[in-house]
Amino acid sequence: MMIKNLFIHMADESTNFLAEIYRGVPGKVIRDDTSVEEMNQLIAEHDRVVMMGHGSPSGLFGVKTGSVIGVRNVEALKNKDNIYIWCHASAFVRNYNLKGFSTGMFISEVGEAIYCGIKESSILQEKVTKSNDTFASLVREYIEQPTAEIYDHVGSYYNSRYHDHPVVAYNSSRLVLFT
């Protein structure tokens, strides 16, 4: 049985690499702010919600409104095996007792690497880009599987492919599965 996916990926050039996750995958894609009511209805109509972009422990940031996924969407997200990919998404998932695959602080830009204490002179955009592209590709490979399998797959291969890469090591240590 094919999973009915809802992909929420706020339009932002710095997170365009995440589009690889849903490229060619059947499902509805949301790239702009949507009302809470409409978003909750869309969430209810889908088996899984894949949320991607910039965010905080409070939720996924919107393009115009500041928040597109937050406390007002929690009830709709409950009891679904979702994917939460934004900085500190795991805190959001933990705080609201949700389930699925999530990221903690996720370095996707050189400035974030420096902010997170990776001060190696070797941190260049090309290294961050390789980390981003590898992560998105690994998630994409298993996007139709349960989140536990996605978590295992990404956890097994993300860090092992680039075991000496400080950004990959940082990001992979902050992947969380909530069951």
Domain ranges of the chain: 5-174
Which of 37, 1, 27, 142 minimizes the C-alpha distance to 9?
A: 27
Q: Strands 55-56 and 59-60, how do they pair?
A: antiparallel
Q: In the prediction, which pLDDT does 104 show?
A: 96
**pLDDT the model gives residue 63:** 79
DSSP assignment letter at 69: B
User: Helices (H), strands (E): how many in the chain?
Assistant: 7, 8
Question: What's the confidence (pLDDT) of residue 117?
Answer: 85
User: Measured over all CA atoms, what is the biggest interatomic distance in the chain, rounded to whole angstroms?
Assistant: 48
Q: What is the pLDDT of residue 163?
A: 64
pLDDT digit of tens for each residue in the chain (179 aa)? 688 999 999 988 889 999 999 999 999 999 988 899 999 999 999 999 999 999 999 999 987 877 899 999 999 999 999 999 999 999 999 999 999 999 999 988 888 888 888 876 566 788 888 889 999 999 999 999 999 999 999 988 887 776 677 888 889 989 999 99
Whole-number Cα distances in Å, 77 to 2, 42, 67, 101 = 19, 11, 15, 13
pTM of the model: 0.93
Structure tokens belonging to residue 10: 């706020």
* Residues facing 103 on adjacent strands: 175
Looking at 3.90.700, 3.20.170, 1.10.720, 3.40.50, the CATH number of the domain 5-174 comes to 3.40.50
